[in-house]
Amino acid sequence: MKKIYIKILLLLSILLLSFNIVGENKIIHTEYTYHDLIYDDVWGTIYNPVVDQCNENPTITGDGSIINITTASELRWIAISQDMLNCNYRSTLLKDDNRFNGKLRYGDTILIQSPHKKINGWWVVRDAKNKRYSNSIDFLQTTGDGNLYDNNSLWSGKFKNIKIFKIIKTQI
């Protein structure tokens, strides 16, 4: 009986020691994430991957990503106005232009907060809007999809009071 208690204690000691080591490694390698407000009072609309709303290649985004037109709503991709986009090679070519000196890059994951619950959450920057727009974003949606619609009609055609947060990671 004494041997069984010793074996159990030994086994528990090994398990507890292993747990502490794993726990310590997890703490050492944990990344802390926070969100930094980078744009406030932005407005947005919905766009579909069609020639009338894009260009002659509506299934290819500004960063070269390919849109599956039947599942576009599931991607949670956005196009941002050029003043919000930071694109070094373009800003170098257009030195006297205010475009492409923004705080977001293609591929950035951003957090949207607004009074419109259906657009709130995580989105990925994949496209840029026409140069005539500023301080705005477009939410990619499958043509005919009511995902961001309320009772099958767009909320007044425009989403207002959008806040954009960027994910910032720091490592201990």
Tell me the DSSP string of 118-139. Answer: GG-EEEEEEEE--TT--SEEEE
Domain at 107, CATH number: 2.40.40.10
Q: What is the pLDDT of residue 40?
A: 92
Q: What is the pLDDT of residue 93?
A: 52
Residues 39 and 14 placed together within one structural domain of the fold: no
The half-sphere exposure of 108 on its side-chain side, counting CA atoms within 13 A, is: 25
Q: What percent of the chain has pLDDT over 70?
A: 63
Query: What is the extent of the structural domain holding 18?
Result: 2-31
- Residue type, position 65, single letter: S
Residues 46 and 14 placed together within one structural domain of the fold: no
pTM: 0.70
Confidence of residue 24 (pLDDT cuts 50, 70, 90): very low
The answer, yes or no, to whether residue 164 has pLDDT greater than 90, is: yes
Helical H segments across the chain, by residue range: 2-28, 72-75, 88-93
More confident residue, 150 or 75: 75
